[in-house]
Chains A and B, each alone.
Chain A
Amino acid sequence: QKEVEQNSGPLSVPEGAIASLNCTYSDRGSQSFFWYRQYSGKSPELIMFIYSNGDKEDGRFTAQLNKASQYVSLLIRDSQPSDSATYLCAVNFLSGSARQLTFGSGTQLTVLP
């Protein structure tokens, strides 16, 4: 069973702080990793993807990947109340000849004004 684990939270941070979201995965051979944001009652929207070890920055968001530790994280700098949502980590596992996107259970983030 290929798994993606996230701290379910809830995670609360004050406005302007850095929010740190973490994710581990079971398959060492995984190659691509994604972070989605989901507001209550809405569908997931892509924030970032990362394929290579290290950091990838996009505005206030930074994804970090460590394949040796099977760990991927998302940092949100200068957190805003509008960042309050559930953040889903997703990993593309190889299933037979196809890749299957497997999601963690999500971390609920609340940014307090």
Chain B
Amino acid sequence: KAGVTQTPRYLIKTRGQQVTLSCSPISGHRSVSWYQQTPGQGLQFLFEYFSETQRNKGNFPGRFSGRQFSNSRSEMNVSTLELGDSALYLCASRRDRVPSEETQYFGPGTRLLVL
């Protein structure tokens, strides 16, 4: 079974631009979560989508947004990029059909550099 895939893998943008990252979960997984990882802040939760609805949201500004499609694929968008948005953005999926199916599996990440 294919794992979580993320595109693009690397991205260079300039301040003020916007960016869209894509995530395809493991087949059969309904929940997709997004995380930002930086050396200083570690792995921080951005948001989670389930059945095309945002189920949970972390403490990030409104410039960070996301959505989920009917096939469970998800995108996240960052508008008006700032230098501090440079990070590894990770997507994780889980089956979530029953409460015990909580294990999340991570994709390879998208490394974003903002200049």
Name the prevailing secondary structure of the B interface residues: strand
| Cβ of A110 to closest chain B Cβ, rounded Å | 18
Q: How far is the CA of A100 from the CA of B31 in the complex (A)?
A: 12
Residue of B nearest to A96 (CB): B56
Contacts of B56 in A (CB 8 A): 95-96, 98-100
Cβ of B33 under 8 Å from chain A: yes
Cβ of B43 under 8 Å from chain A: yes
Q: How far is the CA of A60 from the CA of B43 in the complex (A)?
A: 26
Cβ of B75 under 8 Å from chain A: no
Cβ of B64 under 8 Å from chain A: no
Given contacts A43-B106, A49-B103, contact A98 B48 (CB under 8 A): yes
Number of interface residues of B (CB under 8 A): 22
Residues of A in contact with B, size category: 20 to 34
Residues 50-68 (chain A) with a chain B CB within 8 angstroms: 51
- Give the residue among A34, A98, A101 with the most B Cβ atoms within 10 A: A101
Q: How far is the CA of A102 from the CA of B35 in the complex (A)?
A: 10
CB distance B102 to A99 under 8 Å? Answer: yes
Given contacts A100-B45, A102-B45, contact A43 B107 (CB under 8 A): yes
Q: How far is the CA of A88 from the CA of B43 in the complex (A)?
A: 9
Residues of B participating in the A interface, judged by any CB pair closer than 8 Å: 33, 35, 42-43, 45, 48, 50, 55-56, 58, 88, 90, 92, 100, 102-109
